[in-house]
Structure formats: C-alpha cells, structure tokens
C-alpha cells in the first residue's frame, strides 16, 4: 500500500463554491453627474470638463465627475477663507462640536448607502466597506466632535488656536474613511477645509458633501473639489492655504514638501510603507497565518501599512508557508458586491498594471511566485493573491511599495537579524510582531522604526489611536489626541 | 355636558434597575412649589430602597464598565438626544418648581450640552490622565484609569435637573454605576429624567434614582459597605463630616463639591471624571538580549 504523502492541504473544491450573496445596488443613489462642492452648493466647474468614474469590478461607468482647474481651486479656497474669517473661527467650540456630531450621526444613518457606493466606485469587498470603512468613518467624526470644546486639556498651559484653511488631499484606498480622518480633526480644531478626493474614487466624498449640507454646516466650512494630480497641485500651491494634509505616495509627498518649502504652510504627510510582519517560532501559528492574510490581502493590499514583507523564523518557515498557501486557496476573489468575497477588484487599470509589472520584476529577480488557483472574473481588474519566496533583501519586491495583494517572504534566525532586516528600508509606517512572549514584543516594539506596531494582531484602526509614520513614510499623526496638534498653533 | 378635559396626572415613582417601582416603604412626602402649594406626592424612600438600589448598581457595574469607551459615549449622546426631544416637559416642571421661563430654558439646554460634553470625554479622559512611565529598569510601565465601582450621589438641592446631570454624567462616563438621591425640595425633574434614561439605551441599573429625605438616607448612602465612593454637594459641615466618617468604614472615596455653581460651564471638566477613577499601573518586562540597536 502506498504511503499517502502527509500534506496539510485541505480539500475545498466543492464545499467552498458558495452561492452568490449579492448586496443590492438599489440603495445607492448615484447621479449622472457630480459638480464641485463649493461654499455649500454644488457648482459647475469653470473648466467645463468632466471625467468618468467607473466601477473597477465591471469597468462600467458610474457617473461623470467635475474636473476642478486652478480657478475652481481658488474659488474653493476663497470660500473656505471667508467661512473661516466670518464665522467658523468665532463659532463657539461646543456648537462646532454639534455640527460634527450631526455629520457622524448622518453617516451612521446612511451607512448602507455609503458602503454600497464605496464598493461600487472603489472595488473593495462590500464586507469591508460595510463593517470597516463606513462605521470607522462615523466613529472618527464622533471622536473628534468631542474634542472641539476640550482642546485646552490636550495642550496644557497652551491656548491652542486653529491654523486657518486646510488643503487636504486623500487617496483612493479608503476614500470615505480618509475624508473622515482629514475633515473631522480639522473642523474640531476650528479650521475650514478644501478637500480633494482621488480621481478614481470621488463618489463617497461627494455623498459626504450631501451629508454636510444635510447637517447644515455653514457654507464654505467644507469644500470638496474633484480632479486629478493637477487639481491637487493647484491646491498645494495656492497661497492662501495654511496647512496641507496629504495621504498618498512617498513620491508625491516629497514633491509637496518641496513645493511648500519657503512658505508658512504646515504639513502632515502620511505616505507609503513596506511593513515587516514578523513571525517568531513561538507564535500561535494559525493565528499568525490569519494575521499574514489580513495584513497583505485586506483591501486587495491597497493599504499603506500593509504587511507586505513577511519575515518567518527559519524553524517554522516550512509549516507557516504551507499553512499560508492552504489558507490562500480558500480566499474568494471576485465581485466586490458579493458578501462572500474576500478580495475584490483592483482599484484601477493603472494600478493593476503597476502590480503586474512588479509580478514580472519579482520573477526576473529570481524570486519564486505562488498564486492561489482561484478563478477571477473576465471583466474588471483583478489580481490573484500572490506570494514570493526566495526573496533577497535587495530585491525590488522587498524594497518598493507595490500596493497590491503581493507578499514577499524572507526568513531569519535571530531577533537581532530580523530587527536589522525589518528596519532596512526607507519606510517606517508600521510593523507586525507575532510571538507568545510579551517581553519579546516589547523588545521588538522598542527597536522597530515604525509609527504603528501591531503585536499579535494586524491592521487595527481606532479613532483614539494615532497613526502615521517614521522616516519616508511621512510625518505627523492622524487619530487620537496626537492628531489634534496637526491642525493647531500651540 | 361639559367638554372640559381633565388632565391625567403622573405618578412620580423611583427608578431602580431600569424599572419604576414605588418605595418599598409605601411612604410619601409632598413636593411643593415656593408658595407651599402641592405639586406631587413623591416616594419617601427608605434604607431598604437604598440597599436595593446599591445591590442593583453593583450588579450593573461589570457590564457597564466592560462596555467600550466609545459605546458609553454613544449612550450618553443618546441621553442628550432624548432630553432635547423632551425639553418642553422639563421646562414646564422647572417652572412648576419655581424657575422663571428663561432660567428653566437655560437649565435644560445646559443640561443637554453637559451630557454631550461628558459624552465626548468617554473616550478621551484616559488620554489626559494616563501615562507611560519611563522607569529605569527594562520594563514597559504604564498607568491607566479604571472606574471605582458603585458611587452614591446626593444631588444638589437647588438645581433640580442640571445638578443631577452634572454629578451623574462624569460618574457614568467613567464606567461607574450609581445611586442618586434626587433633590429633596425640587424632585420632579429627577424622576422625569429617569424616563429619559430609560429610553436611551442606558442599561438598567447603571443609574438608579431615589427620592426622599437627605437627613434620613445620607447615613445609609455613605455607610453601605458595598459602595466605593460617595459624592456630596452641599455646604453642610455636619453632613460632610458624617459622610467622611462613614466613608472610613470601608475606605470609600469621597468627592465633596461645596462651592460648585452647576449652571456655570467652568464647573464641567474631566477632573470630575477623574474623581471616580482608580489608577492601575502595569509592569511588563522588555527582553533585552542581543546587541541590536535601532540603527536605521
């Protein structure tokens, strides 16, 4: 009798073919065309130009979005300045709080609609937009609303004052949540805002504009202008902006830092990352494998703090790798509107091309690629969950941010070795540590150069918890008490 | 046939464990307005009612203190929303008890805003009062706050609503549960406020409200052995001394607010939350092997 090869591989071929559980699109009211939200009203762009926003899961057009040019940006900044000087900075802090509480409440009330639109426009699984993006955005407004009349306790012996007009530029990976991260603390601290969402994901920001109208926020306190890089550049370079808050790539972050040199503009930059997720041999391995999966495949890997560099202690490398591959086979890639979907659509064709480029580079560099065998839809932008083994520290896939569901795996023997390897990157946004030994966790957290470190968990976010990076991952923090300072003169 | 409609009068009961029982004693006293005219028959609570309420508060403590700070904040916000919707009723009751219209309106809106104020603190006071302590040895050492437990509160006499709200909010915002003895002379709003609490997702037993005589119940509120802290807010040296002496029976914490003007926004702060918090310090070793330094 032949001895059956001992493999951990589980059989998922039949039982895992779940029937589709599609979220209904009917709750999403998407207009054919969206104008710019300036001074409390939707206004046609002076550029007279509109661009399409599509559903990356089906490549179907969802709506036309106004393209703001420099004149539109100026109009928005003037509106924000007027709102600041004439009303908002004189509004009593506790009344300011009440507006922000209203926004939080309306987001909670319209949560389902926002989740559906977020998924249609951005491609992320409905489960994530419903259970993470939208509730966390509402909670963020709640948290910062409460700070509005309590600032003197956050900065003892200081009399904190707002900066003025904040220009805010956000990315496409968490569109509504990033808008909340930017707008909530800015308003709580008494600033007014001009926000520019990313061009592929404008819709929930424009829904937020509707919510802001519904909350009766004074006109001009929040202005939302849509467009691509040129619109963002016009905002950054506008002379009447006091503060730039940017979340996006390190390359653009550097351009912004350079552009505002020689001005009095303050900045917070939340940039790229290449986080080390470190598995020690004493870690609870099944839990750690879940952490690896969540770390790199959450939101298709479109996460600046994604655990994209996995370091596994040599003694458990084989078993972790096998468990990881087995677990990857269970991941469902497909229609983001399906509640069973684990990995949705890549946000744009352009991003899919970037990811595919890195898949080629990885292989050319000599790393071994493994992808799960799942099927992917014919239309739309999709990428199978991917891991690379046999990766060298100097490989581009171990050094550069890919921003997709692509994990590079390396091994290590000692704590010292993994600290060296983990820190050997220009980035420093986040890291993960998996071990049962508490004292080891604290050794790692004190020596890893990163702004957020998750121990035996990954990708956790909370309005009370500061987020932001070391080194080329940017500066300034968002969230928590520390997120207030970015919008105040203290 | 007369078409005049007769008003249906409310029976003012007490609030224990999310329910509205009458006092077990069956006794009553009369709430009057400034002219001595009859307003309502109030429950004249007994020592037994105090014990029941404290037992109920103790039972609710585990669940309430384990709620996330965010969730407690949401519930306090909900209380404010419910109170906003019933402003008119409170204004009317305050006026029955002798306030003029402007003062009554002011007291009610201030009470709503104060609830919002403390709602906001629920997930923030920890960030003000906690610390990471740079001990010299290789340990990660931090101090965080925890609620004390069951707090008995004697509400201020002169402020029927804002007094109760000002003392209750910081206590429950911090995760404690409480038994409140309402203003003896102006008790109407406190019972009506219990109706607000009851429709606002606040778990039963977190706040329990009794009516009765301070002179009769204060000794029990301050001496009960299952109470962790007592809050008293009148200028009465004899009573304060008794509260502090009774507190020593089981080392209760006492918070005495003699000079607070509850209508003033200066008398709201996270320090009122801190008054009902313990500090817990945790030491955890930091492994210090190998020579790696964070070099990059």
Residue boundaries of the structural domains of chain B? 28-285
For residue B153, the distance in angstroms to the closest alpha carbon of chain A comes to 25
Nearest to A242 by CA among A365, A114, A84: A84
A472 is catalytic: no
SS3 of B128, please? helix
Contact A97, B116 (CB under 8 A): yes
> How many Å is the maximal CA-CA distance in chain B?
99
Q: What is the ipTM of this complex?
A: 0.94
| B292 shares contact with chain A (CB less than 8 Å) | yes
Q: How far apart are CA A78 and CA A85, in angstroms?
A: 10
pLDDT at residue A17 in the model: 72
At residue A387, what are phi and psi to the nearest 5 degrees? -130, 150
Helix (H, G, I), strand (E, B) or coil at A483: helix
Q: List the beta bridge partners of residue A234.
A: none
Alpha carbon of A334: minimum distance to chain B alpha carbons (Å): 34
Q: Compute the nearest-CA separation of B105 from chain A (Å).
A: 17
Q: Where in chain A is the domain with CATH 3.40.309.10?
A: 276-462
What fold, for A276-462? Aldehyde Dehydrogenase; Chain A, domain 2 (3.40.309)
CATH architecture of B28-285: 3-Layer(aba) Sandwich (3.40)
B77 CB neighbours in chain A (<8 A) are 101, 142
Residue A272 CB: number of other CB atoms within 10 A? 22
Q: From CA B104, how far away is CA A400, in angstroms rounded?
A: 64
> Would an 8 Å CB–CB cutoff place A135 in contact with chain B?
no
Closest residue by Cα to residue B230 from B292, B296, B171: B171
Which residues of chain B are within 8 Å of residue A153 when distances are taken between CB atoms? 128, 269-270
Per-residue model confidence (pLDDT) at position A487: 98
Given the residues A23, A118, A128, A304, the one annotated as active site: A304
Q: Which of B121, B123, B273 to mutate to test the interface with A (most CBs of A within 10 A)?
A: B123
Neighbours of A318 (CB within 10 A): 10
In contact, A472 and A428? CB cutoff 8 Å:
yes
Question: Which residue of A lies nearest to B270 if distances are taken between CA atoms?
Answer: A153
Other beta carbons within 10 Å of A286: 11
Q: List chain B residues with pLDDT less than 70.
A: 1-2, 289-296
C-alpha to C-alpha distance for B109 and B125, rounded to whole angstroms: 24
Most distant CA pair in chain A: distance in Å?
87
The whole-number pLDDT of residue B3 equals: 82
Q: CATH 3.40.605.10: which residues of chain A?
A: 33-271+472-489
pLDDT of the residue at A180? 98
> Is residue B53 a contact partner of residue B13, using CB atoms and an 8 Å limit?
no
A238 phi/psi in degrees, rounded to 5: -65, 130
Rg (CA), chain B: 21
pLDDT at A6: 47
Q: Which of the following is catalytic: A128, A270, A401, A478?
A: A270
For residue B243 the two structure tokens come to 């509260």
Element holding B29 (H helix, E strand): strand B28-32
Nearest-neighbour CA in chain B from A473: distance (Å): 13
> Selecting from 3.10.450.40, 3.40.190.10, 3.90.1570.10, 3.40.605.10, what CATH number does the domain A33-271+472-489 have?
3.40.605.10
**A414 touches B at CB < 8 Å:** yes
Say if the Cβ atoms of B287 and A97 lie within 8 Å.
no
Judge whether A320 and A289 are in contact, CB under 8 Å.
Answer: yes
Residue A374: active-site member: no
d(CA A45, CA A67): 6
**B56 reaches A (C-beta below 8 A):** no
Cβ-contact A490, A158 below 8 angstroms: yes
Candidate from B113, B140, B295 with C-beta closest to A442 = B140
Mean pLDDT of chain A: 96
Contacts of B293 in chain A (CB under 8 A): 447
How many Cα atoms sit within 13 Å of A292 on the Cβ side?
32
DSSP A295-362: HHHGGGG--TT---EEEEEGGGHHHHHHHHHHHHHT--BS-TTBTT-SB---S-HHHHHHHHHHHHHH
Nearest Cβ partner of A147 from B120, B286, B290? B120
Query: Taking the model in full, what pTM does it have?
Result: 0.95
Instruction: Say yes or no: B286 contacts chain A, CB-CB below 8 A.
Output: yes
CA gap B189, B195 in Å, rounded: 10
A481 at interface of B, judged by CB pairs closer than 8 A: yes
User: For residue A442, which residues of chain B lie inside 8 Å, CB to CB?
Assistant: 140, 284-287
- Taking only the tens place, the pLDDT of each residue in A310-356 is 999 999 999 999 999 999 999 999 999 999 999 999 999 999 999 99
Contacts 24+ apart (CB under 8 A), B17-20: B17/B56, B17/B59, B17/B60, B17/B204, B17/B205, B17/B208, B18/B198, B18/B203, B18/B204, B18/B205, B19/B204, B20/B194, B20/B198
Low-confidence ranges of chain A (pLDDT < 50): 1, 3, 6
């Amino acid at each position: 009798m032949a001895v059956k090869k001992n493999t951990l591989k589980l059989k998922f071929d039949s039982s895992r073919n779940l029937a589709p559980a599609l979220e209904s699109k009917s709750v999403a009211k998407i207009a054919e065309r969206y104008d710019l939200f300036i001074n409390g009203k939707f206004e046609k762009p002076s550029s007279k130009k509109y661009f399409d926003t599509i559903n990356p899961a089906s490549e179907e057009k969802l709506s036309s979005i106004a393209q703001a040019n420099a004149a539109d940006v100026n109009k928005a900044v003037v509106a924000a300045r007027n709102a600041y000087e004439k009303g908002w900075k004189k509004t009593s802090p506790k009344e300011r709080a009440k507006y922000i509480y209203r926004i939080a409440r309306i987001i909670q009330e319209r949560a389902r609609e926002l989740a559906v639109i977020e998924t249609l426009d951005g491609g992320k699984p409905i489960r994530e937009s419903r259970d993470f993006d939208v509730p966390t955005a509402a909670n963020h407004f709640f948290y910062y609303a409460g700070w509005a009349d309590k600032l003197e306790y956050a900065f003892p012996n200081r009399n904190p004052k707002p900066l003025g007009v904040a220009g805010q530029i956000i990315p496409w990976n968490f569109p509504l949540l990033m808008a909340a991260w930017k707008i909530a603390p800015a308003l709580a601290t008494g600033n007014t805002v001009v926000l520019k969402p990313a061009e592929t994901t404008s819709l929930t920001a424009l829904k937020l504009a509707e919510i802001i109208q519904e909350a009766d926020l004074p006109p001009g306190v929040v202005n939302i202008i849509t467009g691509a890089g040129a619109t963002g550049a016009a905002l950054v370079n506008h002379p009447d902006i006091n503060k730039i808050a940017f979340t996006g790539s390190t390359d653009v972050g550097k351009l912004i830092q350079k552009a505002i040199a020689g001005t009095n503009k303050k900045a917070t930059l939340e940039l790229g990352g290449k986080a080390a997720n470190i598995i020690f041999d004493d870690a609870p391995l099944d839990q750690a494998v879940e952490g690896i999966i969540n770390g790199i495949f959450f939101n298709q890997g479109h996460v600046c703090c994604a655990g994209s560099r996995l370091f596994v202690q040599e003694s458990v490398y084989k078993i972790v790798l096998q468990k990881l591959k087995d677990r990857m086979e269970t991941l469902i890639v497909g229609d983001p509107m399906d509640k069973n979907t684990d990995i949705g659509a890549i946000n744009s064709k352009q991003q899919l091309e970037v990811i595919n480029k890195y898949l080629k580079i990885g292989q050319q560099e000599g790393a071994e690629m493994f992808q799960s065998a799942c099927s992917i839809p014919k239309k739309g932008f999709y990428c199978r969950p991917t891991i690379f083994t046999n990766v060298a520290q100097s490989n581009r896939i171990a050094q550069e941010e890919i921003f997709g569901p692509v994990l590079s795996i390396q091994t290590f023997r000692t704590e010292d070795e993994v600290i060296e390897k983990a820190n050997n990157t220009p980035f420093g946004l986040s890291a993960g540590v998996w071990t049962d030994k508490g004292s080891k966790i604290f050794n790692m957290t004190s020596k890893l150069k990163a702004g957020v470190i998750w121990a035996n968990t990954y990708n956790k976010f909370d309005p009370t918890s500061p987020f932001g990076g070391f080194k080329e991952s940017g500066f300034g923090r968002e969230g928590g008490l520390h997120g207030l300072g970015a919008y105040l003169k203290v | 046939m007369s078409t005049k409609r007769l008003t249906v009068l409310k029976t003012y009961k007490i609030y224990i464990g999310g329910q509205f029982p009458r006092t077990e004693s069956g006794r009553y006293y009369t709430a009057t307005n400034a002219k001595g005219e009859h307003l309502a028959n109030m429950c004249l609570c007994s020592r037994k009612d105090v014990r029941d309420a404290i037992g109920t508060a103790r039972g609710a403590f585990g669940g309430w203190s384990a709620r996330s700070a965010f969730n407690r904040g949401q519930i306090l916000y909900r209380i404010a929303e419910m109170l906003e919707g019933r402003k008119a009723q409170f204004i009317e009751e305050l006026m029955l008890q002798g306030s003029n219209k402007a003062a009554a309106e002011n007291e009610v809106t201030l009470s709503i805003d104060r609830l919002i104020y403390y709602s906001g603190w629920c997930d923030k006071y920890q960030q003000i009062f906690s610390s990471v302590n740079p001990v010299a040895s290789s340990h990660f050492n931090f101090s965080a706050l925890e609620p004390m437990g069951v707090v008995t509160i004697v509400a201020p006499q002169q402020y029927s609503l804002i007094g109760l709200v000002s003392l209750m909010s910081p206590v429950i915002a911090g995760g404690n549960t409480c038994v409140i003895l309402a203003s003896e002379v102006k008790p109407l709003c406190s019972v009506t406020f219990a109706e607000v609490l009851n429709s606002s997702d606040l778990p039963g037993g977190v706040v329990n409200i009794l009516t009765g005589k301070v002179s009769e119940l204060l000794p029990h509120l301050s001496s009960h052995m299952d109470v962790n802290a007592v809050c008293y807010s009148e200028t009465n040296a004899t009573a304060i001394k008794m509260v502090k002496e009774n507190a020593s029976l089981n080392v209760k914490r006492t918070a005495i607010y003699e000079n607070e003007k509850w209508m003033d926004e200066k008398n709201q702060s996270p320090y009122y939350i801190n008054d009902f918090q313990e500090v817990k310090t945790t030491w955890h070793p930091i492994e210090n092997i190998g020579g790696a330094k964070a070099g990059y």
